[in-house]
Amino acid sequence: MQHLRSFLHRLGNIHRKTGFTRTDLFALLACAFVCASFTCAAAGEFTSLAWVRQMPPLLFWGTFLSVLILVWVGFLLAKTTRVINWCLFISGLLYSLLLVGTLSGDLFFNIGVGAVLVIIAKYLTKENRLGLEGISFSWRTSLYVTAAVFCLFCLFVSFCTVAKYKAFAHGTFDFGIFCQMFEQMAKTGLPYTTVERSRYLSHFAVHFSPIYYLLLPGYMLFRSPIYLLCAQAAIVGLGMFPLRRICRTLGFSPFLATGAAVLYALYPSMANGCFYDFHENKFLSVLLLYMISFILEQKRIPAAVSALLVLCVKEDAFIYVAAVALWMLLSGRDRWFAAGTIAVSLLWFMFACTMIRLSGGEIMSDRFANFTASADGGNLLTAVRTCFYDIGYLIREVFSGAETEVYSELTYSGQKLEFVLWLCAPLLFTPFAGKRSVQLVLLIPLLVVNLMPDWMYQFNIDFQYTYGTAALLLVSALLTVSGWGPSGRRLFFCSALSLCMVFTVSAVYPKAQRNIARYYNNKEEYIATADALKSIPADASVTAYGYMMPHLYYVDDLHTCPDYYASLEQTEYYVLDTRYDTDTHTKKMLAAMGDDYTLITQAGYVQIYRLKAAAQ
């Protein structure tokens, strides 16, 4: 009995010395509860009431008591309540990831789970309960950690997207186009394709994107579509370095600047957009962030070079440059440089439009067709006039104009608002909370590029149109948070990192799992398919099913189905995908072939037919 009293007395002393309070006891109980809930959710289907009725109570309460004892013992050994707080934070985050991973892609469920995490973060960051204020390291260490995060990001995205390519899940639109384009650039120096518009045409007739030439030396070395996917992952990932520089300029500590780099890597649209093929838009994030970084550092020449590179991404990239320059102008940052940048961006847009026309195409003003009428000519000036004279129509299109007649089965009025939630909720809507209203100018591309058009892909985080907007949202969030005190900064980074992790797992996990499983569960068949396609000579004329086309990038005279821009014609070879042997596109190909072709190869998931006349 004497030993028991002595033991209890020592426990009491530990509790008093560490400042253990009823609040810490509640955190301890909450941690045990979350871990017990995690165990039950992992063991069964948490969305089913049947599982709740069948769940053995011993599983819940056994886990609850075990975790309670283990965390309490850890607290006693470490003699600090931070053990309890960190266990609560980590268990809450892991449980959240399990939940959103199970109900992947459910935006409003993500928001509900995220709200609970923000409450936990608010408690834990108050009075520095996690000890984050005491964590410090040098800028060199920050660079090393950022580099490590960059490598992990590149490896993950590259692995998943390459698996998708090897599983023949990348189609003509929009990966096969660029596979053939880079092969033609390697052969001729010009960005021509035969599949983008079903005729031999420069890609610059569709989009003026000279930025692609930056990737050509590497392509000349590796000569493979896999290089394009890996390079794309690296281009997107590089954006975390200029974002870290921006944090340094804004006065953040090395620890928080590193947190911003991790935030970039976890932001919902960064990795997620890479799963949809390959696009020039992926350059926007890193180049815009470097441009803003150099502006804040008052380095004119590097800022001008970065701005020029942004303009080289695409004809509509002038919107991003002009928005940043307008922000500079209105906030009093180097106004002459800002005015000159706006003028140059507008001139470049006119130059890019001219280059598109000279290449045989027209700019895609039809993306704003919801603001024009055919009687007015349907040009961009008509869209501007509509917005000026009918602001009510603009507001309706921005907030509830997602539903269209053309894509009535795929669109609904709330999609644009959901898009805003996907991008802004993980940042706690801080881009809209800046002390200076001029900061909202940085959100002009969100309005013009993503919310005004009725092209459904432009307000969808699964596609490529988010990268410039995402970079500006991140910068705007950091500008807002830079004016907060230490406690507010801790709360923002702790909450934003947790929310980004939740939203990204919800968006990316199903795609990553599907791509990896699809390839490795049927690896032999896909290898056999790829080997069979290698038998087709580069100088032949070929019509290929869309998912086969990227693997035939080396063929000069290549055509594809879906045949969006021209009817199928007779070519020497027809390549069919047996995974889709009953769909509309396969039926079109079979109809075009008639009785004029003979099957020469069948392996894996491919059937290769050759024109009988050519075989004789």
Find residue 60's DSSP bridge partners.
none
At residue 15, the pLDDT reads 56
How far from 474 is each of 244, 264, 469, 494, 501, CA to CA, in Å? Answer: 11, 8, 9, 15, 15
For 589-602, b/e burial (b = at least 16 CB within 10 A) is: beebbeeebeeebe
Do 3 and 30 meet the contact criterion of CB atoms below 8 Å apart? no
* Mean pLDDT on 212-222: 96
Q: What is the torsional sign of CA 98, 99, 103, 107?
A: negative
Contacts of 5 (CB under 8 A, 6+ apart): none
Q: Is the predicted pLDDT of residue 356 greater than 70, yes or no?
A: yes
Q: Position of tokens 């050519």?
A: 614
Mean pLDDT over residues 512-520, rounded? 93
Residue 507, pLDDT above cutoff 60: yes
Residue 21 confidence (pLDDT): 81
| Vertex 12: Cα angle to 4 and 25 (nearest 5) | 115
The average pLDDT across 115-119 equals: 94
Q: Average pLDDT in the 302-322 region?
A: 96
Residue 484 confidence (pLDDT): 92
Cα separation, 398 vs 459, in Å, equals 10
Q: Angle between the 283-296 and 240-249 helix axes, to the nearest 10 degrees?
A: 20
Residue 497, pLDDT > 90, answer yes
Pair of tokens at residue 434:
């800046």
* Distance of alpha carbon 136 from alpha carbon 268, whole angstroms: 27
Query: What is the pLDDT averaged over residues 372-386?
Result: 69
HEC assignment per residue over 290-343: HHHHHHHCCCHHHHHHHHHHHHCCCHHHHHHHHHHHHHHHHHCCCHHHHHHHHH
Report d(CA 186, CA 445) in Å as an integer: 34
Q: How much is the average pLDDT of 482-486? A: 91
Q: For tokens 């290769």, name the residue.
A: 608
Cα distance between residue 156 and residue 513, in whole Å: 12
For the cut 80, the answer to whether the pLDDT of residue 466 exceeds it is yes
Work out the number of other CB atoms within 10 angstroms of the CB of residue 148: 10
What average pLDDT score do residues 228-235 get? 97
Return the SS3 of 610.
strand
- At 160 the pLDDT is 96
Asked whether the bond before 24 is cis by omega within 30 degrees of 0, the reply is no
Q: Average pLDDT, whole number, for the chain?
A: 89
CB of 307 closer than 8 Å to CB of 269: no
- pLDDT, position 4: 44
- Would you mind telling me the total number of residues written for the chain in this entry? 616
Q: What is the pLDDT of residue 136?
A: 81
What pLDDT does 374 receive? 57
Residue 547 has pLDDT above 70, yes or no: yes
Q: Looking at residue 557, what DSSP letter applies?
A: E
Joined together, the tokens standing for residue 259 give: 């947190």
Q: Which residue has the higher pLDDT, 96 or 366?
A: 96
Q: pLDDT digits over 170-190, tens only?
A: 998 889 999 999 999 999 999
Collapsing DSSP to helix, strand or coil, 586 comes out as helix
| pLDDT classification of 407: cutoffs 50, 70, 90 | low
Q: Could you tell me the residue ranges of all domains in the chain?
A: 2-102, 139-363+401-519, 526-615
> What does the block give as tokens for 174?
């929009």
Q: Are 367 and 314 in contact (CB under 8 A)?
A: no
Question: Is the bond into 562 cis (omega within 30 degrees of 0)?
Answer: yes
Residue of 15 and 610 predicted with greater confidence: 610
Query: CA 277, CA 589: separation in Å to the nearest integer?
Result: 24
Identify the pLDDT of residue 223.
94
Secondary structure (DSSP) of 449-516? IIIS---GGGG-TTSGGGHHHHHHHHHHHHHHHTTS-HHHHHHHHHHHHHHHHHHHHHHHHHHHHHHH
Residue bearing the bigger pLDDT, 337 or 386 = 337
* Low-confidence winner among 33-42, 367-376, 436-445, 573-582 (lowest mean pLDDT): 367-376
Looking only at the bridges linking them, the beta strands covering 573-577 and 557-561 are unpaired
Residue 560 DSSP one-character state: E
3-class SS of residue 316: helix
Q: How many CA atoms lie within 13 A of 434 on its CB side?
A: 20
Average pLDDT value for residue range 487-511: 94
**pLDDT higher than threshold 80 for residue 11:** no
Please tell me the number of Cα atoms within 13 Å of 176 on its side-chain side: 29
Predicted confidence (pLDDT) at residue 139 exceeds the cutoff of 70: yes
Instruction: State the DSSP code for 536.
Output: S
Structure tokens at 168: 């023949």
Question: For residues 566 and 292, which has the higher predicted lDDT (pLDDT)?
Answer: 292
Give the pLDDT confidence score for residue 286 in this predicted structure.
97
- Could you give the percent of the chain with pLDDT greater than 70? 94
**Run of H or E residues at 162:** helix 139-166
Look at residue 12 and tell me whether its pLDDT is greater than 90.
no
The pLDDT score that the predictor gives to residue 2 is 54
pLDDT score, position 516:
94
Q: Per-residue pLDDT for 49 more than 80?
A: no
> What pLDDT sits at residue 434?
83
Alpha helices in 167-253, H assignment, sequence order:
177-188, 216-222, 225-237, 240-249
* pLDDT tens digits, one per residue of 252-298: 999 999 999 999 999 999 999 999 989 999 999 999 999 999 999 99
pLDDT at 390 over 60: yes
**Residue 148 near residue 268 (C-beta atoms within 8 A):** no
Q: What local confidence, expressed as pLDDT, does residue 342 receive?
A: 95
The rounded distance, in Å, linking the Cα atoms of 413 and 411 is 7
456-487 in b/e form (b: 16+ CB < 10 A) is bebbbbbbbbbbbbbbbbbbbbbbbbbeeeee
Specify the 3-state DSSP secondary structure of 537: coil
Q: Of 80-89, 357-366, 490-499, where does the model show the most confidence?
A: 490-499
Cut 0.85: pTM above it:
yes
Higher-confidence position of 567 and 473: 473
pLDDT confidence bin for 127, thresholds 50/70/90:
confident
Band of the pLDDT at 7, cuts 50, 70, 90? Answer: very low
